[in-house]
Amino acid sequence: MEENDAFQLLDIIGFSLTDWRARVLKAILITQGNQDAPVTFDEIYPNLQNENLGKRIAQPLVYRSLSSLEKDGYIEVDKSSYKHRYWTGIDIIQAALEKAKRMSLADLRKKAKQADSDIESILDASISSLATKLVETSTGTPSQQHARFAQGYDDIYSMSTNTMYARSERGDVIRICLDWISSEPSRAAERMMDILRLLERGVEIRALGHTMWTPTNEGGARLSAFYGSIRDEGLPLTLKIHPRTERTYQFISRNHDGIVLIVSETPPTATWIPRGANPYLVDEAISSFDKDFTAGVDVYQGVDGGSDSKS
């Protein structure tokens, strides 16, 4: 093993060669010489002074280092006489390093597990929720959301993420009307993964279309296969079809907090309406969705289960 590698490993397991414990251990080894015999404090101290270029070293510092070395098993101490006698050797140091290695590994594994947990928390973090909480904590008053607009699928998706998806947690219900959405193969995989992450967090998703389900094109076939695999895993996604000829609300919502309302399909344009801004419109849109969803036919030929939701 290279010298630098050895020094790095010693540092990792908690025995830095730059701290006083290492200096005191070195002084004991030098004082013992080839005799491998116990030595007293009075015999150790001059060697420490020499290592310190003759500068005086506080004796309590040396005693604390001796006590720490004894505690961790790097030295043994004979306390049978008035003057304690200290000794060490390769076998004693090896046993102490084995113990330090085990303790260091356990600590590193614990930290790695915590780091993995922290990474998952950060990945799932709702930045918009954090921003809201920061503002509320700073001002002492609830933050107010205002209506805003988005144009194009990417901007609408970003708006939906910021206002709903990123804030969703276990028990929440996301409602999605599908009639306005066109197939986007280049972004489909990414958005399916986002939906999967929501479902795995315990968010229920209810999707509703008003035209018959015909998964014949590439996008439809991909969505059909994705839906089947999700339902086979028992995740809370339900896709229903309820044919109707008259126009109805097209939107995305979380619980009754507000809706991303589609106001134009060409080009796709939407506005975020928080419930506080227009409670009648939000409640009316969700009520219409729920009526059609209840009457709709599940695309998946299986049995629906119940859910503990905040619908």
Domain ranges of the chain: 3-121, 146-298
- Angle in degrees, 0-180, between the axes of helices 20-32 and 59-71, rounded to the nearest 10: 90
Residue 215 amino acid letter: P
CATH node for 146-298: 3.30.870.10
DSSP 83: S
Give this prediction's pTM. Answer: 0.51
As a whole number, mean pLDDT of residues 73-77 equals 93
The predicted-structure confidence for 118-166, as pLDDT tens digits, reads as follows 888 887 766 666 777 787 788 777 655 555 788 888 888 888 887 788 7
Q: What is the pLDDT of residue 147?
A: 58
Check pLDDT > 90 for residue 311. no
Q: What is the pLDDT of residue 125?
A: 67
Buried b / exposed e along 2-20 (16+ C-beta atoms within 10 A): eeeeeeeeeeebebeeeeb
Check pLDDT > 70 for residue 38. yes
Distance CA 308, CA 203 (A): 10
List the one residue out of 21, 84, 81, 23 whose CA is nearest residue 50.
Answer: 23
Q: What is the pLDDT of residue 1?
A: 62
| Joined tokens for residue 28 | 């004991």
Contact between residue 129 and residue 166 where contact means Cβ atoms under 8 Å apart: yes
Residues 6+ apart with CB under 8 A from 168: 126, 174, 198, 201, 203, 254
List the one residue out of 88, 91, 90, 87 whose CA is nearest residue 39.
Answer: 87
pLDDT band (50, 70, 90) for residue 4:
confident
pLDDT band (50, 70, 90) for residue 78:
very high
Cα–Cα distance list, 186 to 138, 183, 190, 207, 218 (Å): 41, 9, 8, 21, 11
Percentage of residues in the chain with pLDDT exceeding 90?
31
Check pLDDT > 70 for residue 217. no
Q: Helix or strand or coil: residue 262?
A: strand
Q: What is the pLDDT of residue 282?
A: 92
Q: What is the pLDDT of residue 188?
A: 61
Q: What is the pLDDT of residue 216?
A: 52
For all residues of the chain together, what is the average pLDDT? 82
Of the listed ranges 180-184, 229-233, 281-285, the least confidently predicted one is 180-184
Q: What is the pLDDT of residue 306?
A: 41
| Joined tokens for residue 115 | 């780091």
| Joined tokens for residue 88 | 């060490």
- Calculate the dihedral angle through the C-alpha atoms of 236, 198, 267, 187, rounding to the nearest 10 degrees: -110
Q: What is the pLDDT of residue 140?
A: 77
CATH node for 3-121: 1.10.10.10
pLDDT band (50, 70, 90) for residue 189:
low
Contact between residue 69 and residue 29 where contact means Cβ atoms under 8 Å apart: no
Cα–Cα distance list, 161 to 128, 149, 188, 198, 279 (Å): 9, 14, 15, 11, 21
Q: CATH topology of 3-121 equal to that of 146-298?
A: no
Check pLDDT > 70 for residue 32. yes
What one-character-per-residue DSSP string does 216-255 give? TSHHHHHHHHHHHHHHHTT-SEEEEE---SS----EEEET
On the 0-12 / 13-18 / 19+ scale of CB atoms within 10 A, 200 is exposed
Q: Helix or strand or coil: residue 207?
A: strand
The predicted-structure confidence for 250-309, as pLDDT tens digits, reads as follows 999 999 988 999 988 888 889 988 888 888 999 999 999 999 999 998 876 543 444 445
Distance CA 25, CA 17 (A): 10
Sign of the torsion angle spanned by Cα atoms 150, 152, 158, 161 = positive
Check pLDDT > 60 for residue 213. no
